[in-house]
Amino acid sequence: MKKFKSHSLKDYLSVLSSKNPVPGGGSAAALAGALGAGLIGMVTHYSIGKGRSSSDEKKFKKILRESQQIQNKLLDLVDKDAQAYLKVVKIRKSNARAKRRAQIESRRVPARVCELCYKAVELTPFLVLKGNKYLISDVQAAVELLLASFKAAFIFTKEA
């Protein structure tokens, strides 16, 4: 099966809206978080090299590196969420212990999405203070995507 993170946006949305068990809400939450982290990266790129102090430049480069790492991890979780849910579906008719283990494992993925979104939001205050002033709305959009991702993923961390 082709990884969802390798689909075009159009193909991903087509599969998401179809009658298939995956991708679902957890995968979509991870993708929304990756989009938010991507916006942080974009704003940071436009903020680097604008005659700021060397300590500010170092901070921007650190934010860029961290936002790219978070984006890549969230993109990986788009597929890991789908894989974890398929295990739950596959094991539904197994014994209670096996079902419980699969459910616990499947909740780890959205918990990781929440963690990564939180870390990404923590990168934004510096961008608001020192980043490109014309891109503050993009920082706001990033935070909103990350919060939506966090909230959606959090739903899947609870017991069914």
Q: For residues 21-28, give the mean pLDDT.
A: 90
Query: From CA 40, how far away is CA 107, in angstroms rounded?
Result: 27
Query: What is the per-residue pLDDT for 73?
Result: 98
User: How many domains does the chain contain in total?
Assistant: 1
Query: From CA 129, how far away is CA 8, in angstroms rounded?
Result: 35
Q: Is residue 13 part of a domain?
A: no
Q: Is residue 78 part of a domain?
A: yes
pLDDT tens string 41-55 = 999 999 998 878 899
Query: What is the per-residue pLDDT for 15?
Result: 86
Query: From CA 139, how far away is CA 135, in angstroms rounded?
Result: 7
Tell me the whole-structure pTM to 2 decimals.
Answer: 0.91
The domain that contains 135 carries what CATH number? 1.20.120.680
Q: For residues 8-36, give the mean pLDDT.
A: 91
Domain that holds residue 92: 24-155
pLDDT range class, residue 160, cuts 50, 70, 90 = low
